[in-house]
Amino acid sequence: MENRSQRILVLLSFFAIYVIWGSTYLLNKVAVSELPPFMLAGFRFTIASVLIFGLAALMGKSLKITPRQLWNTAVAGFLFLSFGNGVVVWALKYVDSNFAALEISAQPLIVLLMMWGIRGQAIRPMSMIGILLGILGIYLLVNQDAVIRDQYAWAGVAMIFAAMLAWGYGSLFVGTADLPRNTFVNTGYQMATGGVMLMGMSWALGETWTNPLDWQAQTHWSMLLLILFGSIAAFTAFNFLLKTVSPEKVSTNTYVNPIVAMLFGWLYLDETISAQSVVAAVILLTGVYFINVHRNPIRSRWFRSKAH
């Protein structure tokens, strides 16, 4: 029964990081049209952390953590949220939501290369094919007139890539770090520390804060959905999966996220989907498939011994 419940939780968690996170590109794009990016992300994660701590308390979970765990959650909060998410939200001011999702679809390539560089894990021939396809797909994606002629779009491309590096390293870091055993508590501290750092970044960059009561209705709805689903549901599922399955399998959410993001961007924001973007998407996602196909579903002994 326990194994069956575990499998159900894993499936629901994958749905959350596949579909819900795919929709957050649209929600962030809508909200960042009115709000400054780091203030937006900081507000989102700080409020979400308060709600998660409340849920954990109602579940009777202790919120006590050791100084080492607090430090580790702060590191994870910075890698995933303060830098990883905040920078992507900033980039959405200059690139379409579907473009951002397609670029981030190369995340498994980053994770694989980091596992090779940091852990010394061998890259299989099929994965090498995936790497080559991923590089080709990224080239086709960024080598479009809309990007080449816009210096701000290039800045967005570069910052999204930097965020991917942070997420990739964060995925490996949390798999071995000493973190709170309860997923809600772990997620809450990551969001609390990440949210506070985002607020500090917003203040340091001189962003203008506005009264939430003055926000437009679409911004209110976007923020609400980002907090409840994009933050609490999906990010908790993400942390749960990183402790349950291998990090390169968790990163396969990039199979579905770009498709969901492209559809939502096209339906609700009238974003253009160029033929070259479609070709780039097919090549990128094929590369992701080759990176993950035939991989051992059981984590390596080194990873398993360090996980909680």
**Domains of the chain by residue range:** 2-306
Weakest mean pLDDT among 29-33, 53-57, 204-208, 272-276: 272-276
Higher-confidence position of 69 and 106: 69
CB 44 within 8 A of CB 37: no
pLDDT tens-digit map of 97-117 = 888 888 887 877 888 888 887
Higher-confidence position of 103 and 200: 200
190/179 Cα distance (integer angstroms): 10
pLDDT tens-digit map of 226-280 = 999 988 888 788 878 888 887 767 767 767 788 888 888 888 888 888 888 889 8
CB 291 within 8 A of CB 134: yes
Burial 30-67 (b: 16+ CB within 10 A, else e): bbbeebbbbbbbbbbbbbbbeebbebbeeeebeeebee
Which own/partner pairs from 203-207 qualify as long-range (CB within 8 Å, at least 24 positions apart)?
A: 205/38, 207/36, 207/37, 207/38, 207/39
CB 237 within 8 A of CB 8: no
What's the pTM? 0.80
pLDDT of 299 higher than 50: no
Contact partners, residue 257, CB within 8 Å, separation at least 6? 18, 21, 22, 25, 101, 104, 105
pLDDT of 218 higher than 90: yes
pLDDT tens-digit map of 119-150 = 777 777 888 888 888 888 888 887 777 666 67
pLDDT, position 293: 66
